[in-house]
Structure 1
């Protein structure tokens, strides 16, 4: 409890005393043993299980980041592997996959997906807090690993991430798959466009396009108010990314004026749509950032004839 205010800081790991780490490890091991030895059955339902798992996950994230900060890579990977074998929501799986990729400098390709041996007092028919990882989660884990490597300067991983992600078509009836797929395409596109290279900018353009192509009928028909905000924000990001990529492909020295104007108009149109989506989603900061990008593009068409 003494550390709770500190954990709110982004760099909390720099403020933890040396004595605090063993205490966190003891709490982690104790909670993990409770999950492994618990008696889960239809006759013994724990209605607080979700809340307990959430607390355990938050503690594990902080502990794994502490190990990462202290360069105890094996300990950090062990924590991540244990949590990746639990029933976790998508956003938590992404966190542990990212930490593991940063620490190992490698991409997970199913090693962490193996199920642990059955345990607990409930016998073989007891329901364990472990699940078989879906194909979508495996792709997500692998792509997140590539994204972390790209952040560390390995731009060759962009094509590998693209090759993995392009084969995954999300189930349009699964909201989580639609959201995660959109997020991964946007994040990959952002890393590609940040390379400041025309070839990678075209990859970013493709990534932005795939966000809409892999969406459900609601986004294709622009029924924005019927889409959850958590997914809608990524469509706004993708439109902004599309507009930014078009703008960066503009070359005032090599392209004719007519071609430049077409690119600028197309770019601004994407920014406008991004603002429209962000406005409907009620995300002010995203709306503001897109407006900044749109203003930069508008400067180039103030003297355009149409």
Structure 2
């Protein structure tokens, strides 16, 4: 059952999402060659707690960490380690925060140093596919419309769209209805309704869409060992249209990226 949020609850969720956004922005200053994901995990937990929130992942389903850091062929759910990041790596950092009794949950894929051009393209297309999906989150559409948009955009570039892992509803629980696959058929699945909030998160592989789980019980990797990219936003339906509650603006500010990619999904300007 989809749990509809009031406008007041959506604003509380925006605050939760922005704690995650600010955490990712802080991490953008730290993600570099020689840094370990365990270090990133430690400073992320401190940052979230300092901002009046709790780490959303830590302890959830027995997760041992604040961040999930997926490097190169890791798709999602990568546990932080003491292995330093290397030049040419990519790392998807997925972060959650619990604040005001609501969760924020989103992710960004970072480049470390000199990343291969074909990997840069995968990052670009995956990020663009996120917004292709978000455009379909509106009254009159269904879950399959979002998945179809993401799938068609990515498969047109020859990439594999992960099937086993999906986006999800978001609220007082980290995972609510509906599930939000990154593949699907137009006009199929649950209808979108005013006040629903979801996490849309394309997980796109350079090669096969097939994945496997490592022995740590968490990390999901591509079967062919090729890179995977993950981006995620929290999105509400307000006045029948998609409204992004999270933002990559804090990350972009650190990385020197100028873009208006989020503008069409905001009813009012974001003040940093």
**TM-score, structure 2 as length reference:** 0.28
Higher helix fraction (1 or 2)? 1
**TM-score, structure 1 as length reference:** 0.26
Q: Which has the higher contact order (CA 8 A, sep 6+)?
A: 2
Higher strand fraction (1 or 2)? 2
Q: Which has the larger radius of gyration?
A: 1
